[in-house]
Chains A and B, each alone.
Chain A
């Protein structure tokens, strides 16, 4: 019982304090999972993180599912996921409903406009972070050529991104495994 409550509270706190999406809340989840509640050891945590990073999909919910299931079975899994997802989802929906009511006002229009430069800069940063990783492992030329082909396929030929991603997975799994 107390484990279930702790799971809900632990994941609620870690994700309420984690700004900037799942990856930024990893250190906070670590704080709750290892030193605070002792649900996992340090080694178990890093193995779990490695597996979580190897699998696709949002990272925060993968960690919550794993720890929740380890500690409290299926109920634990459900509660850890609710703590992770629910508060921020409700917050977003409520805020956007409020905003939709005043959509035509010049105040909301100004806010919508001024937020674009910030998002653009955040996207540029994210682009750089995403591009930096493979440059270290497969080198700058491989990275640039893959990026150029991806750009041509998605922006010029209008091929669906999912197809391009699957193609990249295949190329990476078959060819690049010899270079990493």
Chain B
């Protein structure tokens, strides 16, 4: 197979699979997309995936299609982006149209309710594992105390003060832009404690 044909094959298979298996809307599909993109096909590293997820979260609009568009774009440009989005949404869009008549039947079905109840804990585990890995990465980069403090700060802003997630991300990105310079300055001052403002 020609290399770009294989790219399209992999992309198509992965997008259909994640589109069909993701229950409960966009966010539940993130662990599945990550598994394919980072582990199975290795389109990008875990760190890059986290970065894209963060920026995708800071932008409005559905999350799953944003991720699909970026992965498609990275692999095969604009055409790949359109292709990935279409493959990701096609099965559910077609099913939606086909099942118009069965609306009431399916929505009240005990089998469907049972299926959703059984799959939710599985998705929760996948999300939990991702949370752990992001937390680990943050702590590794920031040090254990600063890492935990920043997480508590994020928790306070997001859950208790209910600040808009996009605003929280922009805030952290803003500090992140000067983080290494701030650390460097802090270290310099420690080396010369005779200078003013020697502790923060």
Residue positions of A touching B, CB distance < 8 A? 15-23, 25, 47-48, 50-62, 65-66, 69, 77, 81, 84-85, 87-93, 95-96, 99, 106-128, 130-131, 133-134, 137-138, 142-144, 146-147, 150-151, 154-155, 160-162, 164-166, 168-169, 171-180
Contact = CB atoms under 8 A, between A and B. Distances in A.
Chain A's interface: helix, strand, loop or mixed, by majority? Answer: helix
Contacts of B24: 23, 53, 130
16 contacts: A22-B62, A23-B24, A56-B22, A56-B91, A58-B64, A61-B92, A65-B93, A114-B173, A121-B159, A124-B128, A127-B124, A130-B28, A143-B120, A150-B125, A161-B32, A171-B118
Contacts of A65: 89, 93, 96-97
The 3 A-B residue pairs with the shortest CB-CB distance in the complex, in nearest-first order = A88-B61, A57-B92, A172-B118
Contacts, number: 373
A113 B92 contact: no
A9 to B, nearest CB: 15
Given A85-B65, A169-B115, A172-B116, A119 B150 contact: no
Contacts of B120: 130-131, 133-134, 143
Interface of B: 17, 19-29, 31-32, 35, 47, 50-57, 59-66, 68-70, 73, 81, 85, 88-89, 91-93, 95-97, 99-100, 102-104, 106-132, 134-135, 137-138, 141-142, 147, 150-151, 153-155, 158-159, 164-166, 168-169, 172-173, 175-181
